[in-house]
Structures are given as C-alpha cells and as structure tokens.
A and B are shown apart, each in its own frame.
Chain A
Amino acid sequence: MDKSTESYIIDDQDAGLFRVNRRAFTDPECLQEERRRIFDKCWIYVGHESEVPHAGDYRSRNAAGRPMILVRGDDSVARVLLNTCTHRGAMVCRQNSGNAKTFQCPYHAWTYNSRGQLVGVPGEDSYSDAFKRDDLGLAAPPQVDNYRGFIFACFDPAAESLYDYLAGAREYLDLVADQSELGMKIVAGQQSYSARANWKLLMENSYDGYHGLPTHQRYFSFLSDIGIDFKGNNLGAPVRQKTVDLGNGHAVLEYQSAWGRPIAHWVPPFGEHRKEHFEQLRRRFDDRFGPERARRICETSRNLGIFPNLVINDIMAITVRTFFPVSPDYMEVNAWALAPIEESAADSKLRLDNFLTFLGPGGFATPDDVEMLESCQRGFANREVAWSDISRGMKREHPSITDELQMRAFWRRWNQLMTTPQIRRARKAA
C-alpha cells in the first residue's frame, strides 16, 4: 500500500476526537515526503530585512534544507540567493555574516556581485559563444517576498502569493510590527541550538498553553519570587484569552499576560521609577491606534505559529524562531529577539532580561521544553502506542488557550499536504 496517501490523522469532529499517528514523528520516509510536500511547497521564513541594513550586508542562512544568502544588493534590494556556485557547485559565501561588494568562489574564482550577477570569470576567452555570463548568476528561490520586514522564500513557482499564504496570520504580524513607529529590528546575537526530537514537536510546544504550568513551574516560582502577582491572571485562568485558527495551518493564542511587556505594560519588578515612562509609551499607542487596539498590542501576549516552521512568540519579549529537521529525531533551532528600532538602551536591556528569564537555551523555561520534547521522542520508541491524542477542547464552542485547537489547525494542514494525491502525481509526472 502507498503509505504516503494514507491519512496520518484521525479527525472525528462529531465524536470530538483527534489523533496523530506517531509515525509522523519517527518515519524517515515521512521526512522525505515532508521535504518535498512541505518545505518545497510552502513559504519558508529566511530572515528579517533589519538583519541586512546596508548595501552589501549579508547573512548565511540554512532554510528549507538549503544554504542560502540573505543579502542587500548595491541597489538596496534585500535578496535571497542560493549559496552554490553556478560553475561546479562550491559555496560562494563561507562566513556567517558580513559586508561584501562581491562573493568570489574560492574554487575557480568566479565572482558575483551583491545582486548575484556573475561579474568575473578568469580566462573567459576559453569559453565558446554559447557561454553567457548573464545566465550564470547565483540562482534564487522561484519566489521571495517580504511581509512587514519578514522575508520568506518559496520553492514552488506556482504557489499562492505570500500575502494570501499568510491569511489570518497577517493580522497578528501587524500587531507585532505596529509596536514600532520606525520599524522592528532583530537584535544582535543568534541563539543556535537543537533538540533531539522531531521538528513538529517544537511547533506544537511553541503554542501549547496546556503545558505552561506543569512544565514551567520554576518560571512561575521565579515570577512570584520577584514580586509578580498573577492571581486570576495566570496561564491556567487568564483574564481574556482566545485561540484562533488563522487558516492555511497557522494559528495563535492571544491572552492577557501575567508578565510585564517591555513594549508598554509595566509591572512592579520593572521598577517604580520606570512607571511613568511606560505610561507615556502607552499613551502614544492610545494616540496612534485608539485604546482598544493599543490595549491589544501592549497588554496581550501572542504565541503565533506560521505554518510550517516559524514561531513568533510576542510574550515577555518577542522571539522569532525557526527550526528544520535534520533527521526524524533531530532538529536545528535558530532564535532571535525582535525589538522596536527606536527602543531606548534602558528598555532594550529590560527586554533582553525579560527574554532570558524565560526563553532560550540557557533561559528558565526553554531547557525544560527541550527536555520534554526529547522525552516524547524517546517515548515514541514504544511503537505499540501508535497514536498521540490532540483532542483537548474539541467540542468546546470557544476553545481556550490550554486547549489544542491550534495544533489541530497545524495537523489538518500538514496532513492535507502530505496526503493529497495530486501533489504526488504532479511530482511523478515531472
């Protein structure tokens, strides 16, 4: 039987039951299909335009299984180029980041400019007239686009536009991007880590409100140690909260935060002397957006999952996180902090402090998440237990952030892409 068209999920809406076959986390053939059907078909986040502010600035990136270069050309356009020499294949960019007028391939010294055009070929007179430099610039993904600074690439030339692909997620990206009057920037410093677990476990975890209290007890005890009172305002019983299916596999949790938000939501641990400053910031938001939207931007937190592998958690700080599978049971994770360009040095320090108390490979929470994902992956060795249950809150009219609606949105989309026969036929024909 052709395994790839067999459903990986049980989605019984009448009964309120949703299950995912654990083969999705362990099967090497499933990963091969994911590369073709997910990472080669969807819009994949590559980087943020603020990471290459000046002409010639570049960053090496690995996305969708490919080495790429995010580079700002001398025409000030930010591009995504594929990091492979069109001569015989060597990588033309061998640094993680920098500024360069040209990329010279170390193998035979072909040279490309910052727009990716081939501008130098040693001994060019040895080639025939059929050899055209213009055809041999660095290749680019068939589609590259930018939504409010977030740059995505797509390897399917026939795919819908980024704008349409993002669907309901645009509204939430706007709530993040609107935090600055000048634009948002990625702060220096990348957290590069990994987990010995399937990549989809991190997607689930990144917007899993149910695990907050049991997994992160130590964070909540830290919060109460520093004097944050979150009675009636914690992850278990938030004041205002919702979880929303945003279409195309994207989903979000939105809730009143227990923690302070450096954007404009003051809490006592930030210090009495900062209170007035934060109220001032908040008034600017009220003026720009009106009190309701200002409240939403400043006081609520968002755990946003953009299908398939971009997470923007706008919580006690803003983390931008992507992760790619290397094997079914191992992923590479990259995370950055996002902040308003105009943020003062003092607020920026506060934001980074807030970030590190929870997030990142040395934070007070992320190591415990990684531990849990790795623990699930080890548990999957018990193949006799074939299914994971993801039906929490399925019969509820308004699922809460501790329900699993967001994961069901992800898995339905994932299953659809993985099992639609047309996609497979098209590939066979090709």
Chain B
Amino acid sequence: MSATELPSRQQVEDLLYKEAALLDEWRLEEWLELLAEDAIYEIPPTDVPEGDSRNTLFIVADDAVRIRSRVKQLLGKSAWAENPHSRTRRMIANVRVLGSDGENILVTANFAVHRMRYESVDTYIGHYDYKLLRRGNDLRIRERRVILDNEALRPHGKISFIL
C-alpha cells in the first residue's frame, strides 16, 4: 500500500475521534504514539491564520522535540496552568479527506473544544488541517495545524493544554 493512498473518511474519523478521546482523557503519552517521528503541531495567531511560523509570531509552533517536551511538562506537576488538569470535551465534525500532496494525506475537520476550569467554560472553535501518513494499516499524524475562528483568546487567556 502506498504511503499516500487515500483512506476512507471512516478511517480518518476513527483516528480523529480516538485522538480527541485521548486528549480529553489526558492520555498524552498514548496520543504521542499517533504522531510521526517528525511531527509538527502549530497554532497560528488569530490575526494571521494563514501565516508561516518561520516569519510570523504563532501561539504554538512545536517541532517533534517540543511536542514531547510539552507533553512531559503537562503530565508533570509544575505546569501550574494545568495542575489540576482542566476538563475538556472535543466535538469533531465535517471531516473531509481532501487528497494528497504527494507525500501526505490531507485532511480537514471542524472542532469545538470546551474547556472547564474554576467554574469558567471557555470554548475554542475552529478547524484542524492535518497531514497524515500511512504506517502499514495505521495512519500517523505528520502535521497538525489548529486554525482558530476566535478573534482573540478572550476571555480564555491561554492555551495550556493540547488543543
């Protein structure tokens, strides 16, 4: 099977729903296993959603080393912004397999993430752009780009968990 042979929408949905469950349950080590070794995770700023992290100030622009470090911190006790952990609930919808760029399978999906903490509910709305790879029968996440529709992180204040 070629690396970029397109999966069915259901296969992709299974992956994204599983990812959502792992993140909501704070099973971040298992979430890392869904990622390719050279994975990147990016959240562009709300005013330049199409920006390039090489020349634009992002909110998150993690390479594989930083993703792992982020997970390690979030599971440790001194990430005060997530100690105690917030509760999150993700809604993933409008999943579409867009095609391939030759190297990666391109997928997009809408999301609503609700974050509950200290009696506040913050809602993050937007869409994900994924680049996926085939590994045998599995799919791996090569790139995960989170594009927020929120005009600003207000009143949220921060993105202290994996969005």
Q: Give residues in A with beta carbon < 8 Å to B.
A: 96-97, 187-196, 215, 217-218, 221-222, 225-226, 330, 332, 336-337, 345, 348-349, 352-353, 355-357, 360-362, 364, 366-368, 370-372, 374, 378
CB-based contact A194/B155 at 8 Å: yes
> A410 CB to closest chain B CB, in angstroms?
22
Residue B65 at the chain A interface, CB threshold 8 Å: yes
Q: Which residues of B contact A332 (CB under 8 A)?
A: 152, 154
Q: Given the known A-B contacts A96-B47, A191-B45, are A345 and B65 also in contact in the complex, defined by CB atoms under 8 Å?
A: no
Q: Which residues of B contact A345 (CB under 8 A)?
A: 54-55
Residues of B49-79 whose CB lies within 8 A of A:
51, 53-62, 65-66, 69-70, 72-73, 76, 78-79
Residue B116 at the chain A interface, CB threshold 8 Å: no
Tell me the count of chain B residues lying within 8 A, CB to CB, of chain A: 42
Please list 5 pairs of residues, one from A and one from B, whose beta carbons are closer than 8 Å in the complex, sorted by A's number: A218-B78, A330-B155, A362-B60, A362-B160, A367-B81
Q: Which residues of A contact B58 (CB under 8 A)?
A: 189, 352, 356, 362
Q: Which residues of A contact B159 (CB under 8 A)?
A: 361-362, 367
CB-based contact A362/B56 at 8 Å: no
What CA separation (Å) do A225 and B45 show in the bound complex?
27
Closest to A337 in B: B57
CB-based contact A368/B59 at 8 Å: no
With A188-B51, A194-B152 known, 9 other A-B pairs at CB within 8 A are A193-B154, A226-B65, A337-B57, A345-B54, A352-B57, A356-B62, A362-B160, A371-B80, A371-B160
Residue B43 at the chain A interface, CB threshold 8 Å: yes
Q: Give residues in B with beta carbon < 8 Å to A.
A: 43-48, 51, 53-62, 65-66, 69-70, 72-73, 76, 78-82, 118, 120, 151-160, 163
What CA separation (Å) do A192 and B59 show in the bound complex?
10
Q: Given the known A-B contacts A337-B57, A352-B54, A371-B80, are A192 and B154 also in contact in the complex, defined by CB atoms under 8 Å?
A: yes
A218, A225, A374 interface centre (most CB from chain B within 10 Å) = A218
Closest to B74 in A: A218
CB-based contact B118/A366 at 8 Å: no
What CA separation (Å) do A362 and B67 show in the bound complex?
12
Closest to A348 in B: B55
Closest to B146 in A: A362
CB-based contact A192/B155 at 8 Å: no
Q: Which residues of B contact A194 (CB under 8 A)?
A: 152-157
Closest to A225 in B: B69
CB-based contact A218/B76 at 8 Å: yes
What CA separation (Å) do A221 and B44 show in the bound complex?
26
Q: Which residues of B contact A364 (CB under 8 A)?
A: 69-70, 73
CB-based contact A222/B118 at 8 Å: no
Q: Which residues of A contact B66 (CB under 8 A)?
A: 357
Q: Which residues of A contact B70 (CB under 8 A)?
A: 364
What CA separation (Å) do A217 and B79 show in the bound complex?
8
Other-chain contact of A367, B51, B118, B160 (Cβ < 8 Å): B160
CB-based contact B61/A352 at 8 Å: yes
Q: Given the known A-B contacts A226-B65, A371-B81, are A193 and B54 also in contact in the complex, defined by CB atoms under 8 Å?
A: no
Q: Given the known A-B contacts A361-B159, A370-B157, are A187 and B56 also in contact in the complex, defined by CB atoms under 8 Å?
A: yes
B54, B57, B160 interface centre (most CB from chain A within 10 Å) = B57
Q: Which residues of A contact B78 (CB under 8 A)?
A: 217-218, 221, 368
Q: Which residues of B contact A189 (CB under 8 A)?
A: 44-45, 47-48, 51, 56-58
What CA separation (Å) do A250 and B145 show in the bound complex?
40
Closest to B46 in A: A192
Q: Given the known A-B contacts A189-B47, A189-B48, A361-B59, are A218 and B54 also in contact in the complex, defined by CB atoms under 8 Å?
A: no
What CA separation (Å) do A356 and B42 show in the bound complex?
11
Other-chain contact of B54, A348, A357, A362 (Cβ < 8 Å): A348
Closest to A357 in B: B66
> A389 CB to closest chain B CB, in angstroms?
21
What CA separation (Å) do A353 and B55 show in the bound complex?
10
Q: Which residues of A contact B158 (CB under 8 A)?
A: 193, 361-362, 366-367, 370-371
Closest to B153 in A: A193
What CA separation (Å) do A348 and B56 show in the bound complex?
9
Closest to A360 in B: B59
Other-chain contact of A188, B48, B156, B160 (Cβ < 8 Å): B48
Q: Which residues of A contact B154 (CB under 8 A)?
A: 192-194, 332
A188, A330, A336 interface centre (most CB from chain B within 10 Å) = A188
Q: Which residues of A contact B153 (CB under 8 A)?
A: 191-194, 361
